[in-house]
Amino acid sequence: DSGVTQTPKHLITATGQRVTLRCSPRSGDLSVYWYQQSLDQGLQFLIQYYNGEERAKGNILERFSAQQFPDLHSELNLSSLELGDSALYFCASSRGPETDTQYFGPGTRLTVL
Amino acid sequence: GQQVMQIPQYQHVQEGEDFTTYCNSSTTLSNIQWYKQRPGGHPVFLIQLVKSGEVKKQKRLTFQFGEAKKNSSLHITATQTTDVGTYFCAVRAGKSTFGDGTTLTVKP
């Protein structure tokens, strides 16, 4: 158990819909990262927040947005969903903003039908 | 941003054989991290290397950072069935960049 929690574990929805994925970092960690992992694919970095502020941005689609709240939990919003958005979405957290170890949550499996 | 290429993509070995995965970059890396993801699981941090030529060992695992800090390797001696999974290298410099991973299967 990494100490990072993600909800929900599974999500099944239809094309065109909007969903919200939630992540709670480890106690004391200020950074939250979001990754997308499609079937048999690597980890695609989406975005990082540090202490409430956006820190780094990867290949995140405009249909996707995220935020980190004052209590440091984070949400990833995915809208106008397409079949290709079906993937495992991981959240990770770390103590600091840069080179620290990332601790990954168990992931949310999103299926778009 | 920094890109890392990881090879091979897949490796099938007989239990007891050795295994090596390589991570290469065209630019100098400030650091490199290695993660392992078991089938159906999430990535788990293994180690971080920051110094040129650094070598670190964890039981049967040996991690190396190249002298030029442009490549790294993970070597497993005498693989066991518990070693199965995908091994990723990752670079932390602004963006977080993961290699595509090497998936190891071990035949008992």
Tens of pLDDT along chain A (113 residues) come to: 889 999 999 999 999 999 999 999 999 999 999 999 998 678 999 999 999 999 999 989 999 999 999 999 999 999 999 999 999 999 999 999 887 899 999 999 999 99
Q: Is B95 a residue whose pLDDT tops 90?
A: no
A-proximal residues of B, 18-77, CB under 8 Å: 30-31, 33, 35, 41-45, 48, 50
- Residues of chain B in contact with residue A33, where contact means CB-CB under 8 angstroms, are 96
Partner-chain residue, chosen from B43, B50, B100, that has the shortest CB–CB distance to A104: B43
> A45: which chain B residues are within 8 Å (Cβ-Cβ)?
95-98
pLDDT of B1: 61
DSSP-assigned states of every residue in A18-54? -EEEEEEPPTT--EEEEEEE-TT--PEEEEEEETTEE
Separation CA B69–CA B47 (nearest Å): 16
Contact at CB, B42 and A2, closer than 8 angstroms: yes
Residue-wise pLDDT for B2-29, tens only, equals: 689 999 999 999 999 999 999 999 999 9
Other residues' Cβ atoms within 10 Å of the Cβ of residue A24: 19
Is a pLDDT exceeding 80 seen at residue B71? Answer: yes
Do the bridges between strand A108-112 and strand A10-13 make them parallel or antiparallel, or are there none, so unpaired?
Answer: parallel
Mutate to test the interface with B, among A2, A101, A108, A109 (most CBs of B within 10 A): A101
| Cross-chain CB nearest to B95 (options A58, A104, A107) | A58
d(CA A13, CA A17): 7
Q: Is B42 helix (H, G, I), strand (E, B) or coil?
A: coil
Quote the longest CA-to-CA distance of chain B.
41
Q: What is the mean pLDDT of residues B66-88?
A: 97
Chain B interface disruption, residue of A26, A44, A99, A108, most B CBs within 10 A: A99
Tally DSSP H helices, then E strands, for chain B: 0, 11
* Shortest CA gap A57–chain B (Å): 7
Select from B55, B36, B33 the least CA-distant residue to B44. B36
